[in-house]
């Protein structure tokens, strides 16, 4: 085992991985649309801007536009590749959690509509437990996720 793994804060890393889940899912779901939009921009002619100022002729404008679009597509494809790599790493650990653990972690880290106190109240209502037990349940679920993601 690599010595670095002993000094990694696995709990904080699991929280960060959990918070990135929705972003990675969005990237996977919408990258094709973004690439199609860029390819459409590559093929469409640019309309002149009527500003009243004299224009300067640049013979390489078309080339610059194509190069910029190709670079943007490359960035999107790399981002998509990283999102797939993340999902292949994270999804098996997420699915290995129990339904209760997933609910608790979703309430604390994935639901951005409400604050942490609302998450605690939702967990207390669902499981009929006290607040301290809700925090303990969250800590156990997070510890289990960290164990699944990073090992011992």
Work out the pLDDT band at 2, boundaries 50, 70, 90.
low
> Residue 50: inside a domain, yes or no?
no
CA distance 103 to 97: 10
Number of H helices, E strands in the chain: 6, 0
Domain, as residue range, for 135: 8-44+59-150
Q: Which one has a higher pLDDT value, 112 or 109?
A: 109
> Residue 1: inside a domain, yes or no?
no
> Residue 49: inside a domain, yes or no?
no
DSSP E strands, 31-144: none
Our count of domains for the chain comes to 1
Q: Over 70: is that where the pLDDT of 14 sits?
A: yes
Residue 3 has a pLDDT of 56
Q: Which helix (H) or strand (E) holds 24?
A: helix 10-43
Q: Over 80: is that where the pLDDT of 71 sits?
A: yes
Work out the pLDDT band at 40, boundaries 50, 70, 90.
confident
> Residue 54: inside a domain, yes or no?
no
Q: Which one has a higher pLDDT value, 113 or 18?
A: 18
> Residue 78: inside a domain, yes or no?
yes
> Residue 117: inside a domain, yes or no?
yes
- What lies within 8 Å, CB to CB, of 16 at 6+ separation is none
Residue 47 has a pLDDT of 63
> Residue 63: inside a domain, yes or no?
yes
> Residue 107: inside a domain, yes or no?
yes
């Amino acid at each position: 085992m690599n010595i670095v793994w002993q000094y990694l804060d696995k709990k904080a890393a699991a929280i960060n991985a959990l918070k990135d889940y929705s972003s990675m899912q969005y990237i996977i779901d919408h990258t094709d649309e973004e690439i199609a939009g860029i390819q459409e921009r590559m093929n469409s002619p640019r309309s002149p801007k009527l500003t009243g100022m004299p224009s300067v002729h640049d013979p390489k404008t078309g080339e610059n536009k194509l190069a910029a679009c190709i670079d943007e597509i490359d960035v999107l494809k790399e981002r998509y590749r990283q999102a797939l790599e993340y999902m292949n790493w994270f999804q098996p650990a997420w699915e290995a959690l129990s339904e209760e653990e997933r609910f608790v972690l979703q309430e604390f880290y994935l639901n951005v509509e409400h604050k942490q106190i609302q998450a605690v109240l939702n967990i207390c209502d669902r499981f009929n437990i006290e607040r301290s037990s809700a925090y303990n349940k969250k800590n156990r679920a997070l510890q289990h996720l960290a164990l699944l993601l990073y090992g011992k």
